[in-house]
Amino acid sequence: MNHNSPRPIAGGIAADGLYWDALEAGEFRLPRCAGCGRWTWPAHWRCGECGSWDFDWTALQPKGVVYSWTRTWYAFDRTRERAGDVPYVVVLVEIDGADGARVMGVLAGDEAALKIGAPVAGTILAPSQKAKGYPSIVWSVQ
Amino acid sequence: MTGSLRGRTAVVGIGQTPLYKRGTAPDPEMKLCLRAIVAACEDAGIPPRDVDGFVSYGSERNEGQKLMPALGTRELRFGALIWGHGGGIPGALGLAASAVVTGQAEVVAVYRSLAEQSGARLRVAVAQDDTAAQYLVNGVDGPVQICSLRTQRMLEADGVPRSTMFALAQAAYHHAQRNPQAAAYGKPFDAGVYEQSRFVSEPYRLYDCSRENDGAVAVIVTSAERAADLVDRPAYILSAPTGAAGGWGPLEENHRPYASSGFEAVARRLWAESGYGPGDVDVAQIYENATGMGVGAILDHGFCTAEEAGGLLTFENLIAPYGRLPVNTSGGNLAEGFVHGMSLVTEAVRQIRGTSVNQVPGAQLSLMTGGPGDSVVSSALLGSGATR
C-alpha cells in the first residue's frame, strides 16, 4: 500500500492519502517505517531515522487518551460546515500503542469527564459534509 | 565569533501607516506598503531609491520587484521571504542583516502589508492555505484553535496559571492607553471586561486574541558603519535567528515538546550569539497571536519556568516603566493592532531610541519574539551603542 488517492484539501504535504483511504474503508491505520519500525506520523515520504522510503500502514484500535482539547464557540470561516454544532469540543488524542502519535477529532457524548489524560475511544464515520467530504473519527470519553 | 552577525547591522528607519480597522484602509495593500517603506526611508534619511533589498515573511505579496517603479529603485540586489507565518518576523531582520554583512545589499527594507479589501479575511490570509486536512476535517480552522489546544496543555498539564494570560492582556491594554494610535486607546479594560467577554475557543476569550487590522509597517536595515552616520541611536541587531528544532515543524499537533511555543532552539542561539541572557533584557515585544502562546514564548526564552510563571507574569511586572519585564509597550497585537505582528518591530526599535510612549528608561536591550507556535519561529535582540 503506497498509493495515495487525491484528496481535495491541499494544505498538508499530501502523504496521508492512505490514512483517509483506510478510514473510508472503516479502518484506522497509521504508518510505520518498513525499515526500522518507527511510527512516522504525520505521514511523510521518507523515514528520517533509517532512510527507508517504505511504510507499513498498520491497523490500530482507535483508542487512546486525551492529550489536549478545546471547546470552540465560534463558527470559523473555513469550517462553517460545523456552525450548527457550536460550541463543539475537539480533542487531540494520543493513540495507544503508537509511540505517542496523536490525531484530532470531534468529541461526541458526555463532556463531564473531559480532561487531559481521560481515556477515549473513536468511532469511524463515513465521509460527510461536516468533515468536508472526508471520513473522520469522533471520540467519546470512556 | 566567526560569521557572527552581532552588532554589524542596525535598524535605522521605521515607518508605519495608521492601523486601520480591518477592511477600512483608504488605500490598497500595495500603496500602504509603499507608504510604510517611504516613511521608514524618510525616518532614516535615506532616499527610497537607495533601497536595494526587500525582505518579508508569511504570505506577503508585495514583492520588491513590484515596488521598484514606485520607489525609483536603481537595482534590486536582494529579495527573499522567510518561510512560515508570523514566526518569521524577527528572523526577517536576521536575513536582511545577513545580506548586508555579506555585501549582497546595502539598504534592506523589511516590511509587511495587509489589507482585507485587497486580500482575504486576514485570519485566512495569514493561514496561507497550508492548513492540513487533519485540522479542517475535524472542525479546526486555523490559528486560534490550534493555539487553544497547545495552551490548554500548558495550563492543565504543565500547571501554568491562567492569571498569566490575563496579565499579558492587561499590560497590553494598559500600555495602549498612552498610545493614541492604538485600537484600544481610550477603551478601559479590567478583569470584569475580560471575564465577561465571550469564549472564541477555550481557553481563549475574545480579549486573549490578536486583532486584525489593515496597515503596513516597514523598517530599514543597513550596516553599522552607515548607521552611525545616519541616526543618533541606531538599534543594532545583536542576533536574529530563525529556526525549528527536530521534533518541531508542521507536525499536525505531534510537536515535541508540545506545550511550548517552539523557541527553545532559537532562544539558545539568540543568547549565544548576542552574549546576553534573559536577565539582561530591559524590555520585550512578545508576539501574541493569543495570550497563552505569548506566555509560552516568555517561558521558552528562559525568563522563568512553568512553576515560576505565576510569580513573574503579573500586571505589575509586565508594565513600563519599572516592571521587571515590561512587554508590548505600544499595546501589542492585542491592543495596538495587528499587521501580522510587524508593529512589534517598530516598537522594539523605539525602545532603543528612547521614543516609546511607554518608554523603559535607559533601555539598552530590546527583545522581540516572533509568532509563537509557528512551524518555524524567530527572535531578535536589539541593542544600543552601549550594548552593541
pLDDT tens column, B225-278 = 999 999 999 999 999 999 999 999 999 999 999 999 999 999 999 999 999 999
Specify the 3-state DSSP secondary structure of B167: helix
Identity (one letter) of the amino acid at A47? C
Residue B330, Cβ density class (10 Å: 0-12 exposed, 13-18 middle, ≥19 buried): buried
Give me the mean pLDDT over the B188-196 stretch.
Answer: 95
pLDDT over 90 at A4, yes or no: no
Strand ranges (E), chain B = 9-16, 20-21, 53-57, 78-82, 107-114, 199-201, 204-205, 213-223, 235-239, 242-243, 283-286, 365-369, 377-383
CB B223 within 8 A of CB B100: yes
What percent of chain B has pLDDT above 90?
A: 93
Query: CATH number, domain at A53?
Result: 2.40.50.840
The ipTM assigned to this model is 0.96
Asked if B254 is an interface residue toward chain A (Cβ–Cβ < 8 A), one would say yes
The answer as to whether A9 is a domain residue is: no
Residue A131, Cβ density class (10 Å: 0-12 exposed, 13-18 middle, ≥19 buried): buried
Q: Determine whether domain B9-122+209-383 maps to CATH 1.20.1260.10.
A: no
Which chain B positions have a beta carbon within 8 Å of A90's beta carbon?
A: 138-140, 145, 149
The reported pLDDT for the residue numbered A1 is 43
- Rounded to a whole number, what is the distance in Å from the CA of A131 to chain B's nearest CA? 4
Per the DSSP assignment, residues forming a β-bridge with B321 are none
Of A67, A74, A104, which has the smallest distance from its Cβ to B135's Cβ?
A104
Average pLDDT, chain A: 95
How many Cβ pairs closer than 8 A exist between chain A and B?
A: 130
Asked if A70 is an interface residue toward chain B (Cβ–Cβ < 8 A), one would say yes
The reported pLDDT for the residue numbered B317 is 98
Interchain contact, A11 vs B135, CB within 8 Å: yes
Which chain B positions have a beta carbon within 8 Å of A85's beta carbon?
A: 139
Q: Which residue has the higher pLDDT, B126 or A57?
A: A57
The reported pLDDT for the residue numbered B137 is 97
The reported pLDDT for the residue numbered B116 is 86
> Chain B interface, mutation test: which of A41, A69, A70, A80, most B Cβ atoms within 10 Å?
A70
Give me the mean pLDDT over the B192-204 stretch.
Answer: 97
The structural domain count of chain A equals 1
Asked if B136 is an interface residue toward chain A (Cβ–Cβ < 8 A), one would say yes
Q: How confident is the model at residue A2 (pLDDT cuts 50, 70, 90)?
A: very low
Of A42, A74, A90, which has the smallest distance from its Cβ to B200's Cβ?
A74
* End-to-end Cα spacing for chain B: 14
Q: Rounded to 5, what percent of chain A is helix, strand, coil?
A: 10, 35, 55
The answer as to whether A109 is a domain residue is: yes
Of B129, B203, B256, which has the smallest distance from its Cβ to A11's Cβ?
B129
Give me the mean pLDDT over the B360-371 stretch.
Answer: 98
pLDDT over 90 at B3, yes or no: no
Interchain contact, B142 vs A76, CB within 8 Å: yes
Render pLDDT for B17-58 as a digit per residue (tens, 0 to 9): 999 999 999 999 999 999 999 999 999 999 999 999 999 999
CB B274 within 8 A of CB B381: yes
Asked if B130 is an interface residue toward chain A (Cβ–Cβ < 8 A), one would say yes
- Rounded to a whole number, what is the distance in Å from the CA of B128 to chain A's nearest CA? 9
C-alpha A32/C-alpha A43 separation (Å) is 9
The answer as to whether A66 is a domain residue is: yes
Question: For B124, which residue in chain A has the nearest alpha carbon?
Answer: A77
The reported pLDDT for the residue numbered A22 is 98
Render pLDDT for A11-65 as a digit per residue (tens, 0 to 9): 888 899 999 999 999 999 999 999 999 999 999 999 999 999 999 999 999 999 9
Asked if A104 is an interface residue toward chain B (Cβ–Cβ < 8 A), one would say yes
Interchain contact, B251 vs A74, CB within 8 Å: no
Q: How does DSSP classify residue B205? A: E
The reported pLDDT for the residue numbered B119 is 65
Which chain A positions have a beta carbon within 8 Å of B249's beta carbon?
A: none
Interchain contact, B139 vs A88, CB within 8 Å: yes
> Chain A interface, mutation test: which of B83, B123, B134, B156, most A Cβ atoms within 10 Å?
B134
Is the pTM for the entire model greater than 0.90? yes
pLDDT over 60 at B1, yes or no: no
The reported pLDDT for the residue numbered A121 is 98
The reported pLDDT for the residue numbered B230 is 96
Which chain A positions have a beta carbon within 8 Å of B116's beta carbon?
A: none
Question: Which residue, among B80, B94, B48, has the nearest Cα to B67 in the 3D structure?
Answer: B48
- Rounded to a whole number, what is the distance in Å from the CA of A11 to chain B's nearest CA? 4
Interchain contact, A79 vs B131, CB within 8 Å: no
The reported pLDDT for the residue numbered B62 is 96
Render pLDDT for B213-227 as a digit per residue (tens, 0 to 9): 999 999 999 999 999
Interchain contact, B152 vs A70, CB within 8 Å: yes
pLDDT over 60 at B89, yes or no: yes
Cell 533589498 locates to B53
The answer as to whether A1 is a domain residue is: no
The answer as to whether A4 is a domain residue is: no
- Rounded to a whole number, what is the distance in Å from the CA of A129 to chain B's nearest CA? 9
- Count CB-CB contacts under 10 A for residue B69: 8
Give me the mean pLDDT over the A105-129 stretch.
Answer: 97
CA B352 to chain centre: 16
- Rounded to a whole number, what is the distance in Å from the CA of B231 to chain A's nearest CA? 44
Question: Which residue, among B358, B349, B354, has the nearest Cα to B380 in the 3D structure?
Answer: B349
pLDDT over 50 at A140, yes or no: yes
pLDDT over 60 at A3, yes or no: no
Interchain contact, A87 vs B148, CB within 8 Å: no
Interchain contact, B254 vs A10, CB within 8 Å: no
Asked if B315 is an interface residue toward chain A (Cβ–Cβ < 8 A), one would say no
Which residues does A80 contact at the CB level (< 8 Å), separation at least 6?
none
What the block records as the C-alpha cell of B252 is: 499536525
Asked if B190 is an interface residue toward chain A (Cβ–Cβ < 8 A), one would say no
For A95, the domain range is: 17-141
Average pLDDT, chain B: 96
C-alpha B348/C-alpha B381 separation (Å) is 9
Cell 565569533 locates to B1
Q: Give contacts of A 74-103 with B, CB under 8 A.
A: 74, 76-79, 82, 85, 87-88, 90, 92, 100-103
The reported pLDDT for the residue numbered B125 is 72
The answer as to whether A38 is a domain residue is: yes
Give A43-110 as a DSSP string.
--SS-TTT----EEEEE--SEEEEEEEEEE-S--GGGGGGGGG-SEEEEEEEETTTTT-EEEEEE-S-
